[in-house]
């Protein structure tokens, strides 16, 4: 395959950026998208040029490191997959592919296609964990968990924190990410002790960085794990309930 790439190049967060054009010739259709970028980078290095910076780690759709806007779509044209799982057979020889970083003020560009997703870390640090001392590991089945709750918690826990939901949302909202991280703990018995404290802390932190959800549904479509926006509704219900359980806080707002 012979392709033309229009790649966003930017030296740093405070530097101006712009698109550069590169030819990607002789690309195997069985390569992943990131492998194609590896080939382009090897050729750039051989020509004495700076390689294109992009985020990656496991390359198995697990870590959530990768994330590119490909022809205006988060993670590219194949739904339910991360960038590293997208293969070049989804494109046709002669295509021009436009590659950009995530576009959101909360995700400043580090360099080229690499962005800083520290805002996600702040949300997790605010409450995406369980601090209750549960002692030693209990025997299996000692704490009954209804299957619907376990299934829903697993669906929420599938979130890899890539940021596609933010990149795809017209408002750069992070409700789907936050809802998934809140819900996979709040649905299980172990998460009940801090349930309402957790949702307040995580949602409030999210609102410091990201826009508001207006139910476009783009986040669910772009999510490589196809996480449902039903979790946003669940988070919103818990957030309202948490404020009702804390009248002093409600009065302050």
The CATH number of the domain where 187 resides is what?
Answer: 1.10.1060.10
pLDDT of residue 137: 74
Question: Which pLDDT value is given to residue 125?
Answer: 96
Confidence (pLDDT) at 134:
63
What whole-number distance in Å separates Cα of residue 36 and Cα of residue 144? 48
The pLDDT of residue 131: 85
The partner residues of 158 in beta bridges, in order of sequence, read none
Same domain, 100 and 140: no
Distances in Å between the Cα of 52 and the Cα atoms of 22, 88, 89, 97, 225 are 11, 18, 22, 15, 27
Distance CA 187, CA 153 (A): 6
- Give the chain's domain count: 2
Claim to verify: residue 104 and residue 65 sit in the same structural domain: yes
**Tell me, what's the pLDDT at 248?**
61
What are the average pLDDT values for consecutive 10-residue runs of the chain, which has 253 residues?
A: 98 95 97 98 97 97 96 96 97 98 96 98 94 73 87 97 97 98 94 93 96 95 97 96 75 54
Tokens of 22: 């590169």
Q: Decide if 169 contacts 69 (C-beta within 8 A).
A: no
What pLDDT, on the 0 to 100 scale, is given for residue 250? 55
- pLDDT for 123 equals 98
Handedness of CA 177, 55, 8, 224 (dihedral sign): negative
Question: Are both 102 and 29 inside the same structural domain?
Answer: yes
Please identify, among 63, 85, 111, the residue that sits at the C-terminal boundary of a domain.
111
Pairing status of strand 17-24 against strand 3-10 = antiparallel
Beta-strand runs (E) in the chain: 3-10, 17-24, 69-70, 73-74, 96-100, 109-111, 114-115
Domain boundary among 111, 140, 163: 111
- Last residue within a domain, chosen from 60, 85, 111: 111
Range of the domain at 51: 3-111
Q: Are residues 248 and 201 in the same domain?
A: yes
Hunting for tokens 């669910």 — which residue is that? 220
SS3 238: helix
199 within 8 A of 239, measured Cβ to Cβ: yes
**Predicted local distance difference test score (pLDDT) of residue 148:** 94
Token digits for 230?
Answer: 């039903």
The CATH number of residue 38's host domain is 3.10.20.30
């Amino acid at each position: 395959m012979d392709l033309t790439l229009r790649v966003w190049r930017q030296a740093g967060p405070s530097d101006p950026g712009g698109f550069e054009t590169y030819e990607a010739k002789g690309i195997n259709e069985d390569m992943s998208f990131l492998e194609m970028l590896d080939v382009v980078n090897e050729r750039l290095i051989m020509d004495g040029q700076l390689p294109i910076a992009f985020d990656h780690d496991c390359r198995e759709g697990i870590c959530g490191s990768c994330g590119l806007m490909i022809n205006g779509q988060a993670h590219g044209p194949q739904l339910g997959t991360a960038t590293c799982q997208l293969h070049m057979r989804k494109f046709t020889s002669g295509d021009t592919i436009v590659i950009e970083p995530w576009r959101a003020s909360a995700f400043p560009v580090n360099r080229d296609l690499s962005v800083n997703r520290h805002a996600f870390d702040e949300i997790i640090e605010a409450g995406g964990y369980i601090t209750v001392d549960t002692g030693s590991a209990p025997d299996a089945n000692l704490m009954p968990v209804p299957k619907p709750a376990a299934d829903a918690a697993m669906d929420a826990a599938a979130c890899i924190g890539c940021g596609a939901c933010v990149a795809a949302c017209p408002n750069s909202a992070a409700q789907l990410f936050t809802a998934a991280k809140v819900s996979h703990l709040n649905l299980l018995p172990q998460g009940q002790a801090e349930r309402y404290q957790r949702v307040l802390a995580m949602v409030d932190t999210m609102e410091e960085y990201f826009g508001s959800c207006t139910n476009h549904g783009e986040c669910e479509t772009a999510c490589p794990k196809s996480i449902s926006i039903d979790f946003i509704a669940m988070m919103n219900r818990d957030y309202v309930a948490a404020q009702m359980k804390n009248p002093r806080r409600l009065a302050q707002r």
